Chains A and B, each alone.
Chain A
Amino acid sequence: MPFKIAVASGKGGTGKTTVAVNLFHLFSKEHTPKIQIIDCDVEEPNDVLFFPNAKFSSEQTATQLIPEIDNGECTFCRKCVEYCEFNAVVVIPPVKFAEVNASLCHSCGACVVACEYGAISEKPEKIGTIKHYRIGPHSIISEGRLKIGSAMQTLLIKQVKQEALMDMDVIIYDAPPGTSCPVVETVADSDYVILVTEPTPFGLYDLKLTVELLKDLRIPFGVIINKAGLGDYKVHEFLLHEHIELLGEIPFHRNYASQYAKGDIFANIPGEIETQYKSIIQKLMARSPQNEGDYHFKR
Chain B
Amino acid sequence: MKTVITSKGNNQNASFDLRFGRAGWFCVVDDASGKPSFIENEQADATGGAGVKAAEKMVELGVQKVISGDFGPKAKELLEKFNIQMVIIQGENQSIKEIISQLIN
Contacts and interface: CB of A to CB of B under 8 A. Distances in A.
Given A103-B74, A104-B74, A90 B48 contact: no
Q: What band does the interface of chain A fall in when counting residues whose beta carbon is under 8 Å from B?
A: 10 to 19
Contacts of A90: 52-53, 55-56, 78
B82 A87 contact: no
B49 A87 contact: yes
Interface stretch (A22-30, A37-45, A94-102, A225-233): A94-102
Point out which of B50, B53, B56, B82 has the most chain A C-beta atoms below 10 A from its C-beta: B56
A86 B50 CA distance: 9
Contacts of B52: 87-88, 90, 101, 104
B2 to A, nearest CB: 13
A92 interface: yes
Chain B interface, >50% SS class: helix
Interface residues of B, number: 16
Contacts of B60: 92-94
Interface in A70-126: 85-88, 90-95, 97, 101, 103-104
B88 interface: no
Interface in B31-66: 43, 46-50, 52-53, 55-56, 59-60, 62
Interface of A: 85-88, 90-95, 97, 101, 103-104
Nearest first, the 4 A-B pairs at minimum CB distance are A87-B49, A104-B49, A92-B59, A90-B56
Interface of B: 43, 46-50, 52-53, 55-56, 59-60, 62, 74, 78, 82
